[in-house]
């Protein structure tokens, strides 16, 4: 495979990990987050700093996940106090706070960011293999969560968190768990991105990035992991395949978000379910 | 005070007072519900029934007083903990999980040992045993035929029964039913009241909050009457319904004067 294809494939993998993180929080557990890119950024900067200090990838990535999960825990505490529209605003604010802190901090490279991160010792191909392997593990993990009683509890909390408590599901513990796991995945994706780009800059983790991820999750369908993976792949490849699309990325993502919400609220996942029912014939 | 020789009550409410701003919603109310009892908590609109229910369920924290479930002080217990300790709750406005089938609505409650913490929950996948238990409960309340249906497609009568089945799946020490008959037509209400009576006969302790006095009188053994946040009567149904204070609370002074 050419270096170009490899690089596209790794970007798709990174975005899948990132989007599945948000899928857990917003799709499975029903907690809107408009600041997902901030945790992506926390992971990327943690990795960048540690890699520059000479730590190996086996340490930088777990550290990236842990740092993002701690940040996610703190923002998750907000979700216990506020819901829906207020939570959306609170998470959006968390995204801006992250950006504000990073841009003002000289140790984090300010507006420019951090560059010159070395590829791990096993080289470019090895890195892509590792990243894709981890992507598969993340997909399997999310499928397990969905099937497990944790996913069962998440679906109850997403649906009606008072009724969830009445059947013994501690909504606070479940929301915090969703935030911690989801943001840890964002941190992991950020860690891979830091190696992939050989550096980090604050602009990659702004509000636009948060909305792009949200677009992937919404287009995929809030309830469908397969839909989320397919939507992420399409939206990642689109600017690469259609060169002109890159210039209109914001316009296209915005329009997609609007059209999905208006005409396909269950996203691609809902479309698959509909197709399956059609195939099965009228019951 | 309870007689020490008597068995421990299933639910005991001691000296509960709740104040919302300047309004005293509940004014030092105490009562106990014995195991196996079927008690109707009644009173006119605004009497404090719903607030009392929310105090017992843990949604409202009282300024004063204690709630004891099977002898355990519930102070500091949130709704989910109370539910797992043995408080079965059904809602007046039905709240099914809309994205789960009726069966899974009940199975989730039946698996409350699996969902006790996210750590336990992530390690467990099979729902087989809980679904079997849920199916039995749906049959018990008479809606097993629609077990695999989507709750959004079901009429209110079915969803009211779903609420009861889901609360029963918590294996409750006490079942709190908040106006289970409200919104049902007379025939449906009568049938659900019969189901509630059967549940009680099988040993479930029930506190029934109800506006449908005819049905409540028919099935309850005991009435507890709240008015303006105070307990105004507590005793056998016939005696309570003949009580002057209760009649006044429901019908007003004018009615009494008119009949004299």
DSSP H or E stretch at residue B24: strand B23-33
- Asked if the Cβ–Cβ distance from B108 to A153 is below 8 Å, we say yes
Size of interface A-B (CB pairs under 8 A): 100
pLDDT of residue A283: 42
- Give a yes or no: residue A266 inside a domain: no
- Asked if the Cβ–Cβ distance from B117 to A173 is below 8 Å, we say yes
What is the pTM for the complete model shown? 0.90
Q: Which of residues 59-78 of A touch B (CB under 8 A)?
A: none
pLDDT of residue A4: 86
Q: Which of residues 166-195 of A touch B (CB under 8 A)?
A: 166-174, 177
Question: At B237, which CATH number?
Answer: 3.40.50.300
Find which of B94, B101, B108 to mutate to test the A interface (most A CBs within 10 Å of its CB). Answer: B108
Distance from the B199 Cα atom to the nearest Cα atom in chain A, whole angstroms? 19
pLDDT of residue B22: 84
Asked if B138 and B103 count as a contact pair (C-beta separation under 8 A), the reply is yes
Model confidence band, residue A252 (pLDDT cutoffs 50, 70, 90): confident
- Give a yes or no: residue A253 inside a domain: no
Regions of chain B where pLDDT drops below 50 = 1-2, 260
- Asked if the Cβ–Cβ distance from B83 to A160 is below 8 Å, we say no
pLDDT in tens, A167-222: 999 999 999 999 999 999 999 999 999 999 999 999 999 998 999 999 999 998 88
pLDDT of residue A277: 72
Domain C-terminal end among B111, B144, B171: B171
- Asked if the Cβ–Cβ distance from B123 to A153 is below 8 Å, we say no
The number of folded domains in chain B is: 2
- Give a yes or no: residue A70 inside a domain: yes
The number of folded domains in chain A is: 1
pLDDT of residue A281: 55
Lowest-confidence region among A9-13, A255-259, B200-204 = A255-259
Q: Which of residues 118-147 of A touch B (CB under 8 A)?
A: 144-145, 147
Q: Name which of B91, B118, B127 is nearest A173 (Cβ-Cβ).
A: B118
- Give a yes or no: residue B214 inside a domain: yes
- Asked if the Cβ–Cβ distance from A149 to B125 is below 8 Å, we say yes
Q: Round to whole Å and give the CA distance between A282 and A268.
A: 21
pLDDT of residue A57: 94
Residue A162 structural domain = 3-206
pLDDT in tens, A53-104: 999 999 999 999 999 999 999 999 877 877 677 888 889 999 999 999 999 9
Distance from the A261 Cα atom to the nearest Cα atom in chain B, whole angstroms? 18
Find which of A147, A157, A163 to mutate to test the B interface (most B CBs within 10 Å of its CB). Answer: A163
- Asked if the Cβ–Cβ distance from A152 to B97 is below 8 Å, we say no
Domain C-terminal end among B148, B171, B194: B171
- Asked if the Cβ–Cβ distance from B79 to A145 is below 8 Å, we say no
Distance from the B102 Cα atom to the nearest Cα atom in chain A, whole angstroms? 13
Residue B232 structural domain = 1-86+174-185+207-260
Domain C-terminal end among B144, B171, B198: B171
- Give a yes or no: residue B64 inside a domain: yes
Question: According to the 3-state scheme, what is the secondary structure of A199-212?
Answer: EECHHHHCHHHHHH
- Give a yes or no: residue B196 inside a domain: no
**Residue B178 shares a structural domain with residue B246:** yes
pLDDT of residue A280: 65
**Residue B147 shares a structural domain with residue B77:** no
Point out which residues pair with B234 in neighbouring strands.
B224
DSSP A2: -
pLDDT of residue A260: 85
pLDDT of residue B199: 92
Q: Which two tokens stand for residue B164?
A: 């009861």
Distance from the B44 Cα atom to the nearest Cα atom in chain A, whole angstroms? 26
- Count CA atoms within 13 Å of residue B89 on its CB side: 28
**Residue B225 shares a structural domain with residue B161:** no
**Residue B55 shares a structural domain with residue B113:** no
- Give a yes or no: residue A242 inside a domain: no
Model confidence band, residue A223 (pLDDT cutoffs 50, 70, 90): confident
Distance from the A257 Cα atom to the nearest Cα atom in chain B, whole angstroms? 22
CB atoms within 10 A of CB B113: 13
pLDDT of residue B260: 47
Q: Which two tokens stand for residue B223?
A: 């009435």
- Give a yes or no: residue A262 inside a domain: no
- Give a yes or no: residue A152 inside a domain: yes
- Asked if the Cβ–Cβ distance from B57 to A166 is below 8 Å, we say yes
Q: Which residue from B minimizes the CA distance to A161?
A: B97
- Count CA atoms within 13 Å of residue B90 on its CB side: 29
pLDDT of residue B126: 94
**Residue B59 shares a structural domain with residue B181:** yes
Q: Which residues from B are below 8 Å from A162, CB to CB?
A: 59, 79, 95
Q: Which residues from B are below 8 Å from A167, CB to CB?
A: 83, 108-109, 112, 115, 166, 169-170
Q: Which two tokens stand for residue A135?
A: 């992507």
**Residue B163 shares a structural domain with residue B179:** no
- Give a yes or no: residue A43 inside a domain: yes
**Residue B27 shares a structural domain with residue B98:** no
- Exposure class string for B126-160: b at 16+ Cβ within 10 A, else e: ebeebbebbbebbebbbbbebbeeebeebeebbbb
- Give a yes or no: residue B53 inside a domain: yes
Q: Which residues from B are below 8 Å from A179, CB to CB?
A: none
């Amino acid at each position: 495979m050419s270096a170009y294809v490899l690089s596209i494939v790794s970007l798709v993998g990174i975005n899948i990990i990132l989007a599945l993180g948000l899928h857990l929080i917003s799709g499975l557990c029903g907690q809107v987050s408009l600041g997902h890119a901030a945790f992506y950024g926390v992971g990327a900067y943690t990795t960048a700093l540690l890699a520059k200090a000479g730590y190996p990838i086996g340490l930088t990535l777990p550290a990236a996940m842990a740092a993002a999960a701690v940040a996610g825990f703190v923002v998750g505490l907000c979700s216990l106090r506020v819901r829906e529209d207020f939570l959306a605003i609170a998470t959006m604010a968390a995204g801006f706070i992250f950006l504000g802190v990073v841009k003002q901090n000289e140790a984090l490279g300010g507006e420019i960011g951090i560059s010159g991160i070395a590829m791990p010792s096993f080289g470019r191909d090895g890195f892509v293999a590792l990243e894709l392997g981890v992507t598969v593990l993340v997909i399997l993990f999310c499928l397990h969560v969905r099937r497990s009683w944790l996913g069962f509890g998440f679906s109850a909390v997403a649906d009606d968190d008072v009724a969830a408590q009445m059947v013994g599901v501690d909504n606070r513990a479940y929301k915090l768990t969703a935030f911690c796991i989801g943001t840890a995945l964002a941190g992991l994706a950020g860690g891979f991105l830091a190696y992939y780009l050989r550096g980090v800059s604050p602009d990659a983790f702004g509000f636009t990035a948060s909305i792009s991820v949200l677009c992937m999750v919404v287009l995929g369908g809030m309830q469908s992991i397969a839909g989320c993976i397919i939507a992420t792949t399409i939206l990642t490849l689109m600017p690469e395949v259609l060169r002109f699309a890159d210039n209109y990325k914001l316009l296209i993502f915005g329009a997609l978000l609007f059209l999905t919400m208006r005409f396909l609220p269950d996203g691609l996942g809902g479309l698959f379910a509909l197709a399956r029912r059609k195939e099965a014939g009228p019951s | 005070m309870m007689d020490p020789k008597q068995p421990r009550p299933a639910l005991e409410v001691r000296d509960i007072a709740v104040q919302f701003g300047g309004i005293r919603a509940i004014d030092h109310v105490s009562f106990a519900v014995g195991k196996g009892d079927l008690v109707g908590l009644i009173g006119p609109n605004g009497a404090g029934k719903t607030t009392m229910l929310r105090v017992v369920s843990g949604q409202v924290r009282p300024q004063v007083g204690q709630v004891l479930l099977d002898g355990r002080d519930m102070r500091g217990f949130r709704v989910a903990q109370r539910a797992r300790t043995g408080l079965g709750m059904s809602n007046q406005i039905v709240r099914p999980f809309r994205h789960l089938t009726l069966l899974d609505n009940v199975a989730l409650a039946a698996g409350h040992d699996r969902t006790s913490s996210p750590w336990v929950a992530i390690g467990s996948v099979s729902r087989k045993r809980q679904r079997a238990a849920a199916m039995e409960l749906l049959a018990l309340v008479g809606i097993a035929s629609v077990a695999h249906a989507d709750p959004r497609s079901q009429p209110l009568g079915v969803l009211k029964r779903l609420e009861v089945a889901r609360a029963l799946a918590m294996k409750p020490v006490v079942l709190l039913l908040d106006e289970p008959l409200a919104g049902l037509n007379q025939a449906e209400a009568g049938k659900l009241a019969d189901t509630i009576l059967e549940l009680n006969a099988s040993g479930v302790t029930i506190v029934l909050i109800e506006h449908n006095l005819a049905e409540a009188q028919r099935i309850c053994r005991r009435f507890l009457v709240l008015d303006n946040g105070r307990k105004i009567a507590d005793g056998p149904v016939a005696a309570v319904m003949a009580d002057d204070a209760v009649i006044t609370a429901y019908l007003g002074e004018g009615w009494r004067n008119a009949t004299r």
